[in-house]
């Protein structure tokens, strides 16, 4: 007599509801997010639409005079365009230098990898002002004529923000399955073809993260143009001058809002290029 064994499919276990303690772990993050980011942005937006009043007087009003006066000043518009242009050059240069460096680190031995990551991140432990002044001394000894030029500012931005480009790209590259390299070689692809057709598309999320982490601070930096640009004014210095020296918080807030909108639009266009959202992993069909 034949016996048949009936296998019942295993029932999926219901995921246990998270403990209340686990749900509360995110509270400090949201407190910091609301206190240090959301509220200051809302206050800045509010100030940008307020009429300038004497100190100590607060009134609620609505005006576009700060935005109108900014666009009426051709010099200030040119400063913003120049700031975005120099930030774009610095971002492109950090990408050209940082991607091969991140790829080399990801392909190194574990001990070498740790040492290289330490060397890349070590300058971040030093204050930005000290690093900029040190680079200024190097320029004064080697090429004093470059101080005050766009090249000196771009080099300074690249030197300061290079780790912010290398680290996210390295993180993504280190998670790529090594079997993909072997599979590409078995299919007849050269090393260069593998990098262009396999590695770069899979690391696109890291590239975009690096671009955002470099472009944002480079467009608003204060220290680099002040010391390497020999006191040149960029949009960050313009905002500082309007708020701190002139006390025009509404005008400075309006400039910051305009700059933020332009940067957000640029990053949105860049983000649309990201077709691989898996952080280095391909989704199974």
Listed residue (227, 232, 233) closest to 136, CA to CA: 227
- Considering the domain boundaries, does residue 141 fall inside one? yes
Buried/exposed code over 180-219 (b: 16+ C-beta within 10 A; e: otherwise): ebeebeeeebeeeebbeebbeebbbbbbbbbbbbbbbbbb
Let me know: does 98 contact 159? Beta carbons within 8 Å.
Answer: no
- Considering the domain boundaries, does residue 68 fall inside one? no
- Considering the domain boundaries, does residue 281 fall inside one? no
Please name the residues in contact with 181: beta carbons below 8 A apart, sequence gap of 6 or more: 194, 198
Let me know: does 50 contact 64? Beta carbons within 8 Å.
Answer: no
- pLDDT of 242 reads 78
Domain of residue 166, CATH code: 1.10.3720.10
Task: Give dist(CA 165, CA 169) in Å, integer.
Answer: 7
Task: Give dist(CA 13, CA 264) in Å, integer.
Answer: 43
Instruction: Name the residue range of residue 256's domain.
Output: 74-271
Task: Give dist(CA 182, CA 268) in Å, integer.
Answer: 35
- Considering the domain boundaries, does residue 212 fall inside one? yes
Summarised one tens digit per residue, pLDDT across range 259-278 is 888 878 877 777 776 554 44
- Considering the domain boundaries, does residue 145 fall inside one? yes
**Total number of domains constituting the chain:** 1
Q: Which residue has the higher pLDDT, 80 or 16?
A: 80
Summarised one tens digit per residue, pLDDT across range 186-201 is 777 777 888 888 888 8
- Considering the domain boundaries, does residue 89 fall inside one? yes
Q: What does the pLDDT average to over 223-251?
A: 80
- Considering the domain boundaries, does residue 148 fall inside one? yes
pTM of the model: 0.75
- Considering the domain boundaries, does residue 23 fall inside one? no
Band of the pLDDT at 11, cuts 50, 70, 90?
Answer: low
């Amino acid at each position: 007599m034949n016996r048949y064994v009936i296998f019942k499919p295993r029932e999926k276990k219901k995921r246990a509801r998270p403990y209340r303690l686990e749900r509360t772990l995110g509270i400090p993050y949201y407190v910091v997010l609301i206190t240090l980011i959301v509220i200051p942005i809302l206050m800045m937006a509010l100030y940008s639409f307020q009429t300038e009043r004497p100190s100590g007087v607060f009134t609620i009003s609505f005006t576009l005079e700060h935005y109108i006066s900014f666009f009426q000043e051709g010099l200030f518009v040119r400063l913003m365009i120049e700031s975005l242009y120099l930030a774009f050059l610095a971002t492109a240069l950090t990408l050209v230098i940082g991607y091969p460096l991140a790829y080399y680190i990801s392909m190194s031995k574990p001990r070498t990898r740790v040492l290289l990551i330490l060397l890349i991140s070590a300058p971040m432990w030093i204050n930005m002002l000290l690093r900029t002044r040190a680079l200024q001394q190097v320029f004064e000894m080697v090429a004093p004529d470059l101080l005050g030029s766009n090249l000196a500012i771009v080099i300074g931005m690249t030197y300061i923000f290079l780790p912010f480009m290398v680290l996210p790209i390295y993180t993504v590259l280190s998670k790529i399955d090594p079997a993909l390299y072997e599979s590409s070689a078995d299919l007849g692809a050269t090393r260069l073809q593998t990098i262009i057709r396999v590695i770069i598309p899979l690391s696109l999320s890291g590239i975009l993260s690096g671009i955002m982490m470099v472009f944002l601070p480079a467009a608003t930096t204060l220290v680099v143009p002040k010391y390497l640009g020999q006191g040149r004014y960029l949009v960050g210095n313009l905002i500082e001058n309007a708020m701190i020296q002139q006390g025009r918080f509404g005008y400075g807030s309006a400039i910051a809002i305009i700059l933020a909108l332009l940067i957000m639009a640029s990053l949105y266009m860049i983000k649309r290029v990201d077709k691989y959202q898996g952080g280095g992993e391909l989704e199974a069909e």
